[in-house]
Amino acid sequence: MLARANPLLPHFTRTTAFRLMAAYVAVFVTVAAVIAGVILWQTNQLLIRQIFATLRTEAESVQDAVRQRGPAAAPDIIAERSRLSEGGLYFLADPQGHKLAGNLNRWPPELRDQSGGLFRYAATTGEQSRERVAIGIPVALERGQRLLVARDVEEQRQFIGRVRSLFLAGFGLLVLLGLGGGLAASRLILRRIAKITTTARSIMRGDLSRRIATSGTGDELDELSRNLNAMLDRIEQLMAGLKEVSDNIAHDLKTPLNRLRNRAEAALREARSAEDYQEGLERTIDEADEIIKTFNALLLIARLEAGAVDESKEIFDLTALVRDLVELYEPHAEENRRKLAFEAEQGEILVRANRQLIGQAVANLLDNAIKYGGPAPDSPNGGSASDIEVRLSRTEGGVEIVVADHGPGIPALDRERALKRFVRLEASRTRPGTGLGLSLVAAVARLHEGQVKLEDNKPGLRVVLSWPIPAMLERPETKVAVSQTRIAQ
Amino acid sequence: MRVLVIEDDREAAHFLQKALKESGHAAVVTHDGEEGLEAAREGKFDVLIVDRMLPKLDGLSVVRLLRDEGDRTPVLILSALGEVDDKVKGLRAGGDDYLTKPYAFSELLARIEALSRRSDPQQEQTRYVVGDLVLDRLSHRVTRAGEPITLQPREFRLLEYLMRHAGQVVTRTMLLEHVWDYHFDPQTNVIDVHISRLRAKIDKNFEESLLHTIRGAGYMIRAGKS
**Nearest residue of B to residue A301 by CA position?**
B83
Shortest distance, CA B115 to any CA of chain A (angstroms): 15
Burial class (CB in 10 A: 0-12, 13-18, 19+), A161: exposed
Q: How many residues does chain A have?
A: 489
**Strand B75-79 relative to strand B211-214: parallel, antiparallel, unpaired?**
unpaired
Mean pLDDT of A80-105: 83
Closest CB to B85 among A311, A324, A360? A311
> What's residue A480's pLDDT?
42
In contact, B25 and B33? CB cutoff 8 Å: no
- Quote the CA–CA distance of A404 and A447 in Å, as a whole number: 23
B68: Cα separation from own chain's centroid: 24
Mean pLDDT of A364-377: 77
In contact, B210 and B202? CB cutoff 8 Å: yes
Which tens digit of pLDDT belongs to each residue from A412-441?
A: 777 777 776 556 655 554 555 556 778 888
Shortest distance, CA B111 to any CA of chain A (angstroms): 17
Most B CBs within 10 A among A295, A309, A325, A332, hence the mutation to make, goes to A332
- Residue A373 identity: G
In contact, A403 and A389? CB cutoff 8 Å: yes
> What's residue A350's pLDDT?
87
- Predicted model pTM: 0.63
DSSP B70: T
Question: In this model, does residue A482 exceed pLDDT 70?
Answer: no
Question: In this model, does residue A380 exceed pLDDT 60?
Answer: no
**Contact: B190, A329; criterion CB under 8 Å:** yes
CA distances from A106 to A98, A102, A430, B202 (A): 9, 9, 125, 140
In contact, B183 and B86? CB cutoff 8 Å: no
Q: How many Cα atoms sit within 13 Å of A438 on the Cβ side? A: 25
Three-state SS for B17? helix
> What's residue B157's pLDDT?
92
B49, containing H or E segment: strand B47-51
**Contact: B180, A437; criterion CB under 8 Å:** no
Most B CBs within 10 A among A294, A311, A360, hence the mutation to make, goes to A360
In contact, A92 and A163? CB cutoff 8 Å: no
In contact, A135 and A117? CB cutoff 8 Å: yes
Alpha helical stretches, state H, B58-204: 59-68, 84-92, 105-118, 153-164, 172-175, 190-202
Question: Which residues pair with residue A212 across a beta bridge?
Answer: none
Mean pLDDT by 10 residues, chain B (226 residues): 90 90 90 88 88 88 89 88 72 86 88 77 74 89 90 91 90 89 82 90 87 88 73
**Contact: A363, B187; criterion CB under 8 Å:** yes
- Quote the CA–CA distance of B133 and A152 in Å, as a whole number: 131
**Contact: A367, B102; criterion CB under 8 Å:** no
DSSP B180: I
> What's residue A478's pLDDT?
44
- Residue A284 identity: T
Q: For residue A367, which residues of chain B lie inside 8 Å, CB to CB?
A: 186-188
> How much helix, strand and coil, in percent to the nearest 5, is found in chain B?
40, 20, 35
Taking alpha carbons only, the member of B75, B19, B68, B69 closest to residue B51 is: B75
Taking alpha carbons only, the member of A248, A244, A282 closest to residue A263 is: A282
Closest CB to A331 among B178, B184, B194? B194
**Contact: A433, B187; criterion CB under 8 Å:** yes
> What's residue B123's pLDDT?
53
A243: Cα separation from own chain's centroid: 31
Burial class (CB in 10 A: 0-12, 13-18, 19+), A6: middle
Mean pLDDT of A266-277: 84
In contact, B59 and B77? CB cutoff 8 Å: yes
Of B83 and A473, more confident: B83
DSSP B58: -
Of A232 and A116, more confident: A232
- Quote the CA–CA distance of A407 and B53 in Å, as a whole number: 47
Taking alpha carbons only, the member of B188, B189, B187, B182 closest to residue B219 is: B189
> What's residue A383's pLDDT?
47
Question: Which residues pair with residue B2 across a beta bridge?
Answer: B26
Angle between helices A16-69 and A74-84 (to 10 degrees): 140
Shortest distance, CA B157 to any CA of chain A (angstroms): 8
**Contact: A296, B185; criterion CB under 8 Å:** yes
In contact, A68 and A213? CB cutoff 8 Å: no
What residues contact B111, with CB distance under 8 A and at least 6 apart? B76, B97, B99, B171, B174
Find the range with the poorest average confidence among A16-25, A145-154, B9-18, B150-159.
A16-25
**Contact: B190, A332; criterion CB under 8 Å:** yes
Taking alpha carbons only, the member of A152, A59, A141, A64 closest to residue A100 is: A141
- Quote the CA–CA distance of A191 and A188 in Å, as a whole number: 5
Which tens digit of pLDDT belongs to each residue from A304-328?
A: 777 656 567 788 899 999 999 998 9
> What's residue A486's pLDDT?
40
- Quote the CA–CA distance of A355 and A335 in Å, as a whole number: 27
Residue A217 φ then ψ, to 5°:
-85, -15
Mean pLDDT of A361-389: 71
> What's residue B77's pLDDT?
92
- Give every strand in the sheet of B141-144, ordered side by side: B127-130, B133-136, B141-144, B147-149
Beta-carbon contacts below 8 Å between A and B: 70
Taking alpha carbons only, the member of B153, B170, B177, B162 closest to residue B210 is: B162
Q: What is the dihedral of CA A266, A270, A276, A279, to 10 degrees?
A: -10
Find the range with the poorest average confidence among A25-29, A248-252, B128-132, B202-206.
A248-252
- What SS3 string covers B19-43? HHHHCCCEEEEECCHHHHHHHHHHC
Q: How many Cα atoms sit within 13 Å of B41 on the Cβ side? A: 12
Question: In this model, does residue A390 exceed pLDDT 50?
Answer: yes
Percentage above 90 pLDDT, chain A: 4
- Quote the CA–CA distance of B48 and B53 in Å, as a whole number: 15
Taking alpha carbons only, the member of A334, A324, A388, A381 closest to residue A358 is: A324
Three-state SS for B88? helix
- Residue A19 identity: R
- What SS3 string covers chain A? CHHHHCCCCCCHHHCHHHHHHHHHHHHHHHHHHHHHHHHHHHHHHHHHHHHHHHHHHHHHHHHHHHHHHCHHHHHHHHHHHHHHCCCEEEEEECCCCCEEECCCCCCCHHHCCCCCEEEEEEEEECCEEEEEEEEEEEEECHHHCEEEEEEECHHHHHHHHHHHHHHHHHHHHHHHHHHHHHHHHHHHHHHHHHHHHHHHHHHHCCCCCCCCCCCCCCCHHHHHHHHHHHHHHHHHHHHHHHHHHHHHHHHHHHHHHHHHHHHHHHHHHHCCCHHHHHHHHHHHHHHHHHHHHHHHHHHHHHHHHHCCCHHHCEEEEHHHHHHHHHHHHHHHHHHCCCEEEEEECCCCCEEEECHHHHHHHHHHHHHHHHHHCCCCCCCCCCCHHHEEEEEEEEECCEEEEEEECCCCCCCHHHHHHHHCCCCCCHHHHCCCCCCCHHHHHHHHHHHCCCEEEEEECCCCEEEEEEEECCCCCCCCHHHHHHHHHHHHC
Of A19 and A114, more confident: A19
**Contact: A289, B84; criterion CB under 8 Å:** no
DSSP B85: H
Taking alpha carbons only, the member of B160, B169, B147, B141 closest to residue B198 is: B160
Shortest distance, CA A314 to any CA of chain B (angstroms): 12
> What's residue A402's pLDDT?
92
> What's residue A287's pLDDT?
85
**Contact: A297, B180; criterion CB under 8 Å:** no
- Could you count the other beta carbons within 10 Å of the beta carbon of residue A411? 11
| Helices and strands, number each (H, E), in chain B | 8, 12
Alpha helical stretches, state H, B49-151: 59-68, 84-92, 105-118
User: Taking an 8 Å Cβ-Cβ cutoff, which residues of chain B contact chain A?
Assistant: 82-85, 88, 102, 104, 154, 157, 178, 180-190, 193-194, 196-197, 216
Q: For residue A362, which residues of chain B lie inside 8 Å, CB to CB?
A: none
> What's residue A483's pLDDT?
40
